Amino acid sequence: MRMRRKRNLEPRMAACGAVLLARGRPCPNLKEAAQDFRARLDLAALFGGRPVELEVGCGNGGFIAELARRCPDVGFLALEVCDNVVLTAMERVLRENIPNVRFLNIPAELIPCYLEEGSVRRVYLNFSTPLPERNRARQRLTSPRFLALYRDVLAEGGEIVQKTDSEPFFDYSLEQFALCGFEVKETTRDLHASRWAADNIVTEYEAAFAAQGKPIFRAVAVKRGKI
């Protein structure tokens, strides 16, 4: 179902300027844009030298807001392609006075335009769209081209934390992690019944899937030194 466009979207986006670092414009050739455009962020200045973590596809921002509250000594970047959606996340962070979250309203394809190599210590992928159709495999957020982007921005020993409700997508992701220079650990096929449940922050999609009785899959993929 298509989401209705929010009222007064543009003035409300403008009012979130203090937490919005970048806004992608429609762009016919993302590859070219990524090659030609560099407006890299000064993360040390932004977050006072704190370690930085990135959520890709933050949705309404419930996860990143809670994580940022729990970890005040970490700087968080929340990336979301849809302006209509990221607006909710930004307004929440401003309303709740959470100081250590900033937003990138761009497609994940443009990560290298904004982030230096090795500048992030963790990437969160929460309930990325599984895209089961074969001809959409390239668009999955754990396909090799995206894993290469995360690998570049991750510091040595940095990691991806993935959660999903889709077992085929999970299996696909585990395979791609291993093929693309990551070592997989802390795998569970029922997060809510696992030893990681106590510290888990339930995202908006996760709450909906769990309410339907679906198990939640989770894995951590650690960047290996060499592929």
Ligand X SMILES: C[S@@+](CC[C@H](N)C(=O)[O-])C[C@H]1O[C@@H](n2cnc3c(N)ncnc32)[C@H](O)[C@@H]1O
> Helices 83-95 & 62-70, crossing angle to 10 degrees?
30
Instruction: State the Cα–Cα distance between residues 149 and 132, nearest whole angstrom.
Output: 21
Sites for ligand X among residues 87-126 (CB under 6 A):
107-108, 126
- In the 3-class helix/strand/coil scheme, how is 98-151 assigned residue by residue? CCCEEEEECCHHHHHHHCCCCCEEEEEEECCCCCCCHHHHHHCCCCHHHHHHHH
CB 79 within 8 A of CB 111: yes
Taking the least distance from each CB to ligand X, the nearer of 125 and 174 is: 125
Minimum distance, C-beta of residue 124 to ligand X, in the bound complex (Å):
8
Taking the least distance from each CB to ligand X, the nearer of 3 and 45 is: 3
Minimum distance, C-beta of residue 203 to ligand X, in the bound complex (Å):
3
Sites for ligand X among residues 120-159 (CB under 6 A):
126-129
Minimum distance, C-beta of residue 87 to ligand X, in the bound complex (Å):
12
Stretch that binds ligand X, among 36-44, 151-159, 203-211, 214-222 (CB under 6 A): 203-211
Q: From the list 205, 209, 218, 220, which residue makes contact with ligand X (rule: CB under 6 A)?
A: 205
Minimum distance, C-beta of residue 77 to ligand X, in the bound complex (Å):
12
Instruction: State the Cα–Cα distance between residues 56 and 151, nearest whole angstrom.
Output: 14
Q: From the list 79, 90, 98, 147, which residue makes contact with ligand X (rule: CB under 6 A)?
A: 79
Contact set with ligand X (CB under 6 A): 56-59, 79-82, 85, 107-108, 126-129, 203-206
